[in-house]
Structure 1
Amino acid sequence: MKKNIAFIIQMVILLLPMATTSYGTEQQKNPKQKVRHSYLCSDIGAKRVFKISAAGKIEWEYPADQCTDAWMLDNGNILMSFTGKTRGAREVTPDKKIAWEYTTSSEVWGCQRLANGNTLVVECTAKRLIEVDRKGQIVKILPVKSGGNVHMGMRHGRKLANGNYLACLLDDKVVREYDSSGKMIRQIKVPDMAFSAIRLRNGNTVIGYRGGVIEVDPKDKVLWHLTQKDLPDVKLYWICCIQRLGNGNTVVGNWFIHKRRTDSAPFFEVTPDKKVVWQAEMHKRMFDPASIQILDVKGYPLR
């Protein structure tokens, strides 16, 4: 009897660490995965912005209705879009104080802190990109035409180093480039609804759309195209965020479209030859993660 009790106690001691370890860390589920990343992400269904450690643990969080764009700024603050009962963009300090905020009646699905301290805000249903100063005043308005359902208009928008703007349009299945005067100077067609786009330093444009990622040169020639057939171990849903790393790899935000799924990675890193070198696991607090910013890389994030 005493031997049996001693054996049971021994087994409990051995199994206890497995029972108490946090759910869904990459080290546990992918022990052979050499790449580790800490990152900032937004989660539409969870209505949160999360900061996740390389061990897969939530280090920081903040409530944000239907946030599809979140940034870690150089000063350590977090910039995020939000669309709920109130809509707009907000900058929050690490101790969760509001440092800046702009509100609007329009759906807002994107934001970007500009070099001059102003903030680009994507007003989808108002069909415009705007620049807002530190006082919350609109200092520039750039109208953006879009067809189809007004809700299915713009998602991400970005101001480029040359002063031009990129606008990603869902129903139109294009990314349009506008000059500083608001004139459309380029239109890049994609196979499905365009959600995100970035301009690389070499002039190429990388676009995330529903079902894939495409990179084109300044003449719209396709240089790289990532689709489901390239990824046997990752199921693609809607690519709503992309980040190009300094090593040439691409981090992909694989949005699950208003459902919680466990059949694929919400975020992953892929090499130019389309090998997946990192996959984020679904934390138990996550529902349908959207935007991502890798935090353990140097320099301004290309996203």
Structure 2
Amino acid sequence: MKRIKQLKIILILCAIAMFSNAAAANWLKSEKIKKIKGYVITASELDKVLVLNDKNEIVRKIEANNTYDAWKLKNGNILYACHRGVRLITPADEIIWNYKSKSEIFACQPLGKNKMLVGECSKGRLIEISSTGEILKEIPLTYKKGGHGCFRGARKIKNGHYLVSHHADKTVREYNKNGDVVKEIVRPFNVYAAQRLSNGSTMISDVYCLSIYDKKGKMVWEFDAREYSELGVNHLTGFQVLPNDEIIICNWLGHSPYKKGIPVFKINMNKEILWKYTNAQQTYSCTNIQVLYE
């Protein structure tokens, strides 16, 4: 009887090992499909949008005054904010769309093939604009403190609403398609970016923390970068949630390009630091990042 029990235990352990190996194989297969081939980084202090390869080498530089947001599109074009404007540029550096504004612009977003979202900070509004320059929609924003500190990140999300990070108000507001505020999340620090996650929660970056709030507005997770002295945290800015639930985050190092710190790093949901981009002299202060996949 004792031998039978031992045999059962061995069989169970073998089954667990087989399952674990299969799971690992599936994970590796998924990772191979989603292999990172590079990054698009907005380097505000360099006045450049930088394209890096998977070895963290700069392979392209685009002149972009005080840039804070950029997207590489499937056709290779890059949409980016450049202080008081937004441009769309080809791989050959040809400017094919150029929106100029009297307002500071910290956020832009491609909306399909021929439409973009532009966040005009100083004017306190979002606009949806066509590739021909026609303003298709205007969303006046609600805020207490306007001007330079009005907002940073702005994104249109799947339900047609807009998530806006009101920097000086320390508040992320969700606006419906009519411009009405339908939700507010208040943080203790100046907020920078917000993203709606697939489960309906909202992830927010502020000066020191990356946090998650559930649908009811309750904080359910928080990463406090002050607990990791090696990061040299100054202000957490743009971030991207990766397919494996890891998160890549920018740490804006301030207006002095020689300030020490880690400009970009990656964590998991267990708050473990998985990867650090350490060459602050190459990128200076990073404000946003887009991970590029093969």
**TM-score interval w.r.t. the shorter chain?**
0.7 to 0.9
**If the length of structure 1 is used for normalisation, what is the TM-score?**
0.82
Give distance in 2, aligned partners of 1:229 and 1:283.
Answer: 19
Instruction: Please identify runs of 4+ aligned residues in structure 1 that moved more than 6 A.
Output: none
Aligned to 2:66: 66
Where does 1:242-257 land on structure 2 (aligned, <5 Å)?
Answer: 242-257=239-254
SS of the residue corresponding to residue 67 of structure 1 reads coil
Q: Which AA in structure 2 matches 1:161?
A: K
- Are 1:137 and 2:134 matched, yes or no? yes
Instruction: Give 1:262 shift.
Output: 5.4
Aligned to 2:191: 194
Give distance in 2, aligned partners of 1:182 and 1:135.
Answer: 24
Q: How many residues align?
A: 260
**If the length of structure 2 is used for normalisation, what is the TM-score?**
0.84
Aligned to 1:240: 237
CA contact (8 A) 2:262 2:280 kept: no
Aligned to 2:87: 90
CA contact (8 A) 1:212 1:236 kept: no
Give distance in 2, aligned partners of 1:284 and 1:276.
Answer: 21
CA contact (8 A) 2:261 2:280 kept: no
Give distance in 1, aligned partners of 2:258 and 2:174.
Answer: 34
CA contact (8 A) 2:121 2:147 kept: yes
Please point out which of 260, 271, 276 is paired with 1:274: 271
Instruction: Give 1:228 shift.
Output: 2.7
Give distance in 1, aligned partners of 2:285 and 2:227.
Answer: 23
Q: Which AA in structure 2 matches 1:163?
A: G
Where does 1:1-303 land on structure 2 (aligned, <5 Å)?
Answer: 38-83=38-83, 87-115=84-112, 117-261=114-258, 263-282=260-279, 284-296=281-293
Percent identity, aligned pairs only, is: 30
For the aligned residue pairs, the C-alpha RMSD in angstroms reads: 1.7
Give distance in 1, aligned partners of 2:280 and 2:258.
Answer: 11
Give distance in 2, aligned partners of 1:291 and 1:222.
Answer: 24
Give distance in 2, aligned partners of 1:105 and 1:232.
Answer: 39
CA contact (8 A) 1:46 1:285 kept: no
CA contact (8 A) 1:56 1:281 kept: no
Unaligned 5+ segments in structure 2 are 1-34
CA contact (8 A) 2:253 2:259 kept: no
Give distance in 2, aligned partners of 1:137 and 1:37.
Answer: 35
Instruction: Give 1:230 shift.
Output: 3.9
Return 235-244 or 42-51, whichever deviates more. Answer: 235-244
